Copies of this chain bind each other. A is one copy, B any other.
Amino acid sequence: MDLDELRGALSEGALTTDPATVESYRRDWTQSEAAGMPLGVVRAGSADDVVATVRWAAARGVPVVPRGAGSGLSGGSCAVEGCIVLSLDRMRAIEIDVATRTAVVEPGAFNAEVKAAAAEQGLWYPPDPASFEICSIGGNIATNAGGLCCVKYGVTTDYVLGLDVVLADGTLVRLGGKRVKDVAGLSLLKLFVGSEGTLGIVTRAVLRLVPAQPPAATLVATFPTVEAAARAVVEVGRTLRPSMMELMDNASINAVEDYQAMGLDRAAGALLLCQSDAPGAARAQEIELIRAACESVGAKECFVTDDPAEGEMFAAARRAAFPAIERLGALMLEDVGVPVPQLPELLTGITAIAERHDVQIPTVAHAGDGNTHPIILYPRGDEAAKERAAEAFVEVMHLAIRLGGTITGEHGIGRLKRAALPDQLGPDVMALTHRIKDALDPQGILNPGAAF
């Protein structure tokens, strides 16, 4: 391939073929062994570099695998053989517009950086994946990322007002803008959100901000069983919208306590971590309603604090579950979701799957959304256990589908879950998906093998 021609079309130093650098941009968090070897890595300095790369690739039928911070959990930015990895990690500008309450953001900016820039102006960008300190806005948009506060504040797509997108032929289109309402033409903007880099590459986003979140009060309730905790979630959801409603099961509680002692109840079957950020006295009222709901289904203990710092410590403990469990062995991370009333059945079903396949499946969940992260754990290097884990991984997805749910609530299909997607969507929706893909990327060069 004439990489020199590509190099000449790009800004100085944007293209790298240095083997060590290429290797470091080849995989995302999944560290997939199936990742192919890229021809090179373009670290775009601007939208012009993205346009030039896609044009070059389109003319030659070369696959382009876009990449944000590489924190993806589904293999969506793992390289394919002979591709160009197009990294957006150098494009990190953030501009806050107070008057329109928007942030204009380049895709490589971290979620936490957008939050921080907004906070300086008394504003807030709500979506908060647990990885918010290390994940990029571009990746958040590619996966339509969720997080902890989404139970009240919605997901990434709810905050995207505008996108610049480079299409598969290198055309840059500008969709939406700093206007809150706009129904002129098809809702193309929303189609690109969650498309995992298969329809276009985002080079700039206009994000909606809201006034700063009021301080939150926190309730931690412990339950004898995961199922009781799940029933509490259903109860609470009947009457109010907490600003956080997270679940940790016994195994994840203990993994976190081993990792960094937080004083969580190691004997609890599960705990719920709930917050209310309702203003003024309504906050305490909501917390009391949550407490009553928890107690009505058999909570062992409820701890309440009005101190935001203490509440944030609990949220940090919840976010630590993933790194804490990661230390214990090799793992496969699930992201299945169900309608909230099916949460108890999903969680008991997961326990049964774990027993049947002789693997551990500690589980944390954005429980208020019905979105769970069962973490299938097996001893590193144990091939037989790995096989059992893989079987459990597939069974958990099918359980979610059977319960009217989804195989991915916020991480995306990536390359890990592609085989299971038709089971959820069915042949007609798959056909519709391919019709859109073919219309927008007839050569199939944009992130081939990802998403569908």
Chain A positions within 8 Å of B, measured between CB atoms, are 98-101, 122, 143-144, 146, 150-151, 154-155, 157-158, 167, 171-175, 177-188, 190-191, 193-195, 198-199, 210-211, 234, 237-241, 278-282, 285, 337-341, 366, 369-371, 404-413, 417, 421, 424-426, 428-430, 432-433, 435-440, 451-452
Contact = CB atoms under 8 A, between A and B. Distances in A.
A371 B181 contact: yes
A198 B175 CA distance: 19
Given A188-B191, A435-B439, 12 more contacts: A100-B341, A155-B181, A178-B404, A179-B404, A179-B409, A181-B371, A184-B413, A184-B424, A186-B191, A281-B281, A282-B282, A439-B439
Given A186-B191, A191-B186, A282-B279, A181 B406 contact: yes
A426 B174 CA distance: 9
A422 to B, nearest CB: 9
A388 to B, nearest CB: 24
Nearest to A180: B369
Contact of A191 (B178, B187, B340, B413): B187
Contacts of A436: 186, 188, 191, 436, 439-440
A157 B279 contact: no
Contact of A238 (B98, B406, B417): B98
B180 A370 contact: yes
14 contacts: A99-B234, A151-B180, A157-B190, A173-B426, A181-B366, A182-B406, A183-B408, A183-B409, A183-B412, A184-B413, A188-B432, A190-B191, A279-B281, A435-B440
Given A99-B340, A181-B337, A339-B177, A171 B241 contact: no
Contacts of A210: 241
A179 B101 CA distance: 29
Contacts of A429: 173-175, 185, 188
A183 to B, nearest CB: 5
B408 A184 contact: yes
Question: 3 closest pairs, A vs B, by CB?
Answer: A279-B282, A190-B190, A439-B439
B173 A432 contact: yes
Contacts of A426: 173-174
A432 B154 CA distance: 28
Contacts of A182: 337, 405-406, 408-409
Nearest to A240: B211
Nearest to A335: B183
A27 B97 CA distance: 43
B184 A425 contact: yes
Contacts of A408: 182-184
A225 B452 CA distance: 55
A254 to B, nearest CB: 27
A118 B270 CA distance: 33
Contacts of A178: 339, 404
A286 B120 CA distance: 22
Nearest to A340: B100
Contacts of A439: 435-436, 438-439
A171 B432 CA distance: 10
Nearest to A210: B241
A192 to B, nearest CB: 8
A411 B184 CA distance: 9
Nearest to A407: B184
A214 to B, nearest CB: 8
A344 B366 CA distance: 42
B183 A143 contact: yes
Nearest to A99: B341
Contacts of A100: 339-341
